[in-house]
Amino acid sequence: MVGEELDDDTRERMRQREEQLRQEMTRLLQELEQRNVELMIPEQRSFAWGALLLTALQQWQFWAIAGVLLVLSGLCLYLRSRSRRREVDSSSSEEESSSSDDEPMEEVEDDHEDANDVGRFLEQHIEWPVQNLRNDLQKVKELVNKLLFVFGHLRSRSFFPVLLLPTEVDSAFEGWPPHEEDIVYRVLVPMTPPRGHVFYLEGGTMPQMQMRYCHIRVELECTCTGERLVEGMLCFLHHPEEELRRNQAPSLLHTLCTDSYLDVEKTARWIHQLMKASWVALHESSQWRLKMLPPSRSCKFQIKTRNDTRLLIELMFGVQRSKSDVYVSNESAGALFTPTTMWVESYAVAEAKFFSHVAREAPRNSFHLKCLQLCTRILVGTSFSSYTMKTIVMHLLTSIPLSHWRRRDFLLRLLDIMRYLRCCLQEKRLDHFFFGNENVPEEIILPPAFQTAAPLNLFQHLQQDPAAHAEALREFGDLQDRLTRLLIFGH
């Protein structure tokens, strides 16, 4: 080699080596599959994939595949270091000084990463979702802001909740949507009580799901005097009911509440109606098509733009807990039935702030989002949720230095994520990220009780249900098989 460029013979040898490695990994996987099938009795073969990689991380075939990739990585690093030494020896002292003054050596190393490293090979080899996130995210942000502006005018003389500036949350806005065909753009809209009303949060925990919730009790307050005096407004507490009915819109207690508690479904239907009424006031309504989805606990709608792009948007709404980044919102509690006055505690805003913090602190070519995107991509058809993987990655991001999440560490971090999941399954325990965790960045504001609270166990159901635990272990084998195939074949 001379300088940075590789000669034709070297490129050809590397191409042949890459093809040889690909064939070797394919052969190892086929041997693993055939050996497991041959060892099974006929009655067990229908469950072949269930047991195929139940302990794959502990088996030599899996590590052989990882070892092959790591050997390739070491070879590439060696070739790259030789190339750099030759370049440094031939460079002038003036260029060396300029390089050291302009940026850290760590960043220079990133600039010289090339097709020799395994991280780049995997990045180019894997078929990633085709997404135009940047433009779509901007469209969603602008549209939601316009809708909320119109909302404010429509409810200006009524006593419905006040909707504040939205916060973009979840995978699309955080940068790790697993699939291109089912992206949901979620926006959380904070609510505050209208004039003459006050909200009180009454909390609890659902032991079955290790999930916290709140009831939002609505009370009336006097607006006759003092700071709460509003010109032209009748006090709900001190004016006769007949006069109130004749001259003023009904209170929130008579519109969106059930037994003095704010009702999730009534609130969702109200926002659903606001959406339809506000849409016709927007310029986009003449060019785009709106499709409202049936309301339940949420407000979802689909926008079809002029170039046939479809954007599925979900308006989440909630009430802030004690000036923190935690809200009680209309999020679903999954398959568990929840009363219409039960609001689930949401950490979506805190999670969005966490990933923003990591983006600022991590190296510019950090692959932590690629790792999360790839690991959630293989969950389809299993009982594992994307939130499980998200929680694991958040824990690892605070325990493994951010400088170790670069492209060159891609394979190692994937193995760390799978190892973490395996350990959690064995122990039947996955701690919630925001409870009793000293590693939460200081800029994330949590209620004071969170710091001393015992962590919620997201795998509590596995302790209570042996059958569910056995099924989770079986599915873990499937996940390892899918990840291995994805790394080998790219899809």
Fold held by 362-491: Poly(a)-polymerase, middle domain (1.10.1410)
Consecutive H or E run containing 136: helix 133-154
DSSP per position, 415-448: HHHHHHHHHHHHHT--B-TTSS-TTS-TTS---T
- Give 429: exposed, middle or buried? Use CB within 10 Å, 0-12, 13-18, 19+: middle
- Angstrom distances, CA of residue 135 to CA of 129, 132, 173, 175, 272: 15, 6, 12, 13, 25
pLDDT for position 107: 41
Q: What is the pLDDT of residues 392-444, one digit of tens each?
A: 999 999 999 999 999 989 999 999 999 999 999 999 999 999 999 999 999 99
pLDDT higher than 80, residue 142: yes
Amino acid identity of residue 152, one-letter, is: G
Q: What is the dihedral of CA 81, 87, 88, 93, to 10 degrees?
A: -160
At 204, is the secondary structure helix, strand, or coil?
Answer: strand
- Beta-bridge partners for 185: 313
Q: Which residues pair with 320 in a beta bridge?
A: 327
Number of CB atoms found within 10 A of residue 308's CB: 7
User: CA 140 to CA 401: how far, in whole Å?
Assistant: 34
Q: Going by C-beta distance under 8 Å and a sequence separation of 6 or more, which residues neighbour residue 324?
A: 350, 445, 446, 447
Greater model confidence, 70 or 215? 215
What would the mean pLDDT of 296-317 be, rounded to a whole number?
A: 91
Mean pLDDT of 215-239: 85
CATH fold of 133-346? Beta Polymerase; domain 2 (3.30.460)
Residue with the larger pLDDT of the pair 262 and 225: 262
Residue 199: in which H helix or E strand, if any? Answer: strand 197-206
The segment with the largest mean pLDDT, out of 8-22, 84-98, 108-122, 271-285, is 271-285
Q: Choose among 455, 205, 166, 191: nearest CA to 342.
A: 205
**Could you report the per-residue pLDDT of 53-107, keeping only the tens digit for each?**
334 444 444 455 555 555 555 555 544 555 455 444 555 444 444 444 444 444 4
Kindly report, as residue ranges, where domains of CATH 3.30.460.90 are found in the chain. 133-346
CA distance 163 to 34: 59
Locate CATH 1.10.1410.40 in the chain: 362-491
Mean pLDDT (the chain) is 81
Reported as a pLDDT band with limits 50, 70 and 90, residue 20 is low
Residues 6+ apart with CB under 8 A from 81: none
